[in-house]
Structure 1
Amino acid sequence: MPVRNALEALSLRPTVFLRSAWPWRSLAYLLGGVLLGSATILAVVGLLLAGTVLSVLVIGFAGYVATVLSGIVVARVERRRLRLVDEEELSDPHQPVPGKGLRAWLMFRLREQATWRELGYAMVSAGVLCWMDALVVFGTGYTVLGTLLAPLIIDDEPLSNTIWFTLAGIPLTVILAYPITAWAGARAAMARAILAPRDDRLVEVTRSRARLVDAFEVERRRIERDLHDGAQQRLVALSMQLGMARLELPAGSAAASSVAAAHDLAKQALTDLRELIRGVHPKVLTDRGLAAAIGEAASTAPVPVDLDLRLPGRLSPAVEVTAYFVVTEALTNVAKHSGADRAAVTAWTTDRGRLIVEIHDDGIGGADPAEGSGLVGLADRVAVLDGTVTLSSPEDGPTLVHVEIPL
């Protein structure tokens, strides 16, 4: 298995790990951290002093600006140093400057979140991490040299005693390769966590998830269209043919009974298919929008449903589909589990660009997602669009499902 960073190297067999370059690379990384932190401290102190001394002049402000921007330089150096202990390259989170000139560059960089995150890392590196690097490096070096060079350093002990120190220093040097590598790996992980363009992968995951949702809904519509225009039409034709054959056969004959049974089965299959089509993707949702689809679902619900739908018109297909199935699933739960006499569905959009849907019933309450009432699947469906589901269902009711979906 290829090893890509120092922490993974620790899982190697001792003979393989100790012969590898990872302990030396880790030591070099920590030494570089000491030097980088020391240079950062000197540079920041110098810039702050210059800004303070020259504060009576306009150019004094440049010292403070340079202090803020120093994090960019530190972060750039750190990204290069990380390659010592982490072979995965850390990309630069800064965006290209749209304008030209120094003023445009400064204004753009000072507004970037990455600039301030890098300044924070520079302060943490100079104020804490470099001192810990120094403690590990110089503490390890002092221990190793103190034992290996014991005969040269200790004068008031017999040579036979100091030789034991030297012999003990050999395995000690080998053992200390592990804490050095472990700290270097942990140090690199902290640097990566702070400096990584943390939104890049999240944005890509979000975008890919949105593409999957859109592709899934396109496929649902295709299936609904194929069932509606294909299988359903054939079942309608079959039902009509069986009905006509049923009329032509003598009443009470064996053939008439068989055809009547087949006719009834065809009608039942047609009814089942229509329910299936509605479950895959209701045609009314595609043709007339969310309000009409919720109205149709409410009209067929087992309990009376009051509607208050204040929607501005058509929403995005993904939002409409998600909201529709949230309502239908919630109304199904009302009918199955709540014992309610009445339910209500309210939907509206906010100025913050969110669709709010609330399903309320006057049932017995006590709804628990862990009991398999479909609420977990409902929440998962909403989460695909970065929405949220809130449930309020005390014992003795009422139950309120509050859903928010970004538009």
Structure 2
Amino acid sequence: MTTQYDDRHDQYAGHDQYAGHDGNERDGRGYGPAGEAGQRVRERRHLLPAGLREPLTARHWRELLYVLLSLPISIVLFTFAVTTVSLGAGLLVTFLGIPVLAAGLTACRGFGALERGRARGLLGLEVAAPEPLRPRGSGATAWMAAVLKSGTSWRNALYAVLHMPWAVFSFGVTVAVWSAGWSMLTYPLWFWVFPMYAGQGGIQLYGDQHHSVYLDNPFEIAVTALVGLLITLATPWIVRALTTVDRLLVHGLLGPSSLGARVVELESDRGIVVDTAAADLRRIERDLHDGAQARLVALAMDLGMAKEKLRDDPQTAARMVGEAHGEVKTALQELRDLARGIHPAVLTDRGLDAALSSVASRCTVPVRVDVDLAERPAPAIEGIAYFTVSELLQNVSKHSGARSASVDVWRTDDRLLLQVADDGVGGADASGGGSGLAGLAGRLDAVDGILVVDSPVGGPTRITAELPWRGGQV
């Protein structure tokens, strides 16, 4: 049993979300080997190696533009933030301080949105917008209270204060390095300016009352250009290192906080849970209305007719009672199936092993079930695991065309893992918005779960679900 557990764990841990169905690794855009070959062809079209053409790339010029724009923008933001915050704090002894401070922080939030857009356009940095304001009530007072209590407002103001000194430093370093590199690199093109207009042989390296050193002979000019080339080639990496700090500032101060992001995620998950519960209630209502309820109504009518014929035609009444007895059995079976769909009794009484074996017995293909759990998880997690495997086995029965399937359940640290595999035609995809697997992935995500689908066209299919382990009963 331990060997099987390790094999399954290694197989799951080695799964790469960017791996292709044929086993070839794919890049982040979904390109397989053909895409990589095309990328190599595009690289061969460049006449210069990557290191030599870096100073000419669009990315370098965008980053350079970002650094150059940061100085004037940061001066404006710093001046505004310091002025409004200090003015508002000074006026707090009067009622005017609160609206001044709230207005200044609101403007800082707007500046933060502009800075996120500038970082997105020039640095390619995608930073999600922070959580919106949530005033408790209506009116100006509720709005000002929400602004002042929002951590996002203060973090945007802090960004305006901290970014200015860094922008001054990065601007000075960038301008100095970039201008020195390009001026020295192009020195052979403009060194003639010195003897023609300045009355000296070239750039002066040293000079006193006795002698002077100029870069004026071909060797010195060539060495100057070579040093300029090295500085120019290093400039993109220096600028990139400087903008790394900008990325950290934007991401850390202008993006959503970890707590705010978690709140938004929980709200989204709550919406999914509510929608799922509503859909389940509608399904139960529909099954009751179209199934057992309809049969019971027909049964009542048949029994009423049998009662009327009991004296006049006992044989016909007996036949109708027999038919009604059959309808009662069918209605009872439908009610059992419906109760099993809500929550099976075998799951509560005997756990996942027996419950999944019962589900597997109803599958149209032979299913091997292996549950390796020393204890039971919490009832809620156990129920989600049961219905996940149940839905996956229904897909095997309806769509896979498989000859056999397997269900494996095991625990790794604080996670419960389920894996359903079959040897069918493959092609399962959880990316489609309307697919059953996409809905299942959304329901698992609502409880911090994960669904990983590996289903190449032609098969086999291997679907792994991961759920948080929450201790239940032994």
Q: TM-score, normalised on structure 1?
A: 0.49
User: TM-score, normalization: structure 2?
Assistant: 0.42
